[in-house]
Amino acid sequence: MRQDDLGKTLDSSAPAACAPCRCGRHAAGADVHALNWFVNDAYIGRSAPGQLLYWQSPTAGSYAVRVVDEHGRSDQRPLGVSLVE
């Protein structure tokens, strides 16, 4: 078992994937030092541009992933999670 950035334990035996959300410095801008990540409006963590942030989906389904930099600029993308047996 390992922990995410908020100290929650991630269950490695669960049928879910830990997927990295990654944003490079070129996409974030040279003046950005911190990115705040949200899934369905729930805060999941903070990372530097180019740093990996791991999030484990609690269930299969559709999610909205949003990132906000320290200047208030944001972007949002849909994310679909399905279980593979």
Among 49, 13, 15, 45, CA closest to 29:
49
- Domain for residue 79, yes or no? no
pLDDT per residue, tens digit, the chain (85 aa), is 455 445 555 555 443 444 445 444 445 677 888 999 999 999 999 999 888 888 888 899 999 999 999 899 999 999 999 988 7
Q: Which domain holds residue 58?
A: 2-72
To the nearest 10°, report the CA torsion of 14, 84, 19, 66.
-110
- Domain for residue 84, yes or no? no
What does pTM read for this prediction?
A: 0.67
- Domain for residue 82, yes or no? no
Confidence (pLDDT) at 24? 41
- Number of domains comprising the chain: 1
Tell me how far apart the alpha carbons of residues 63 and 29 are, in angstroms, rounded to a whole number.
25
- Domain for residue 78, yes or no? no
- Domain for residue 65, yes or no? yes
Q: Which residue has the tokens 């879910």?
A: 16
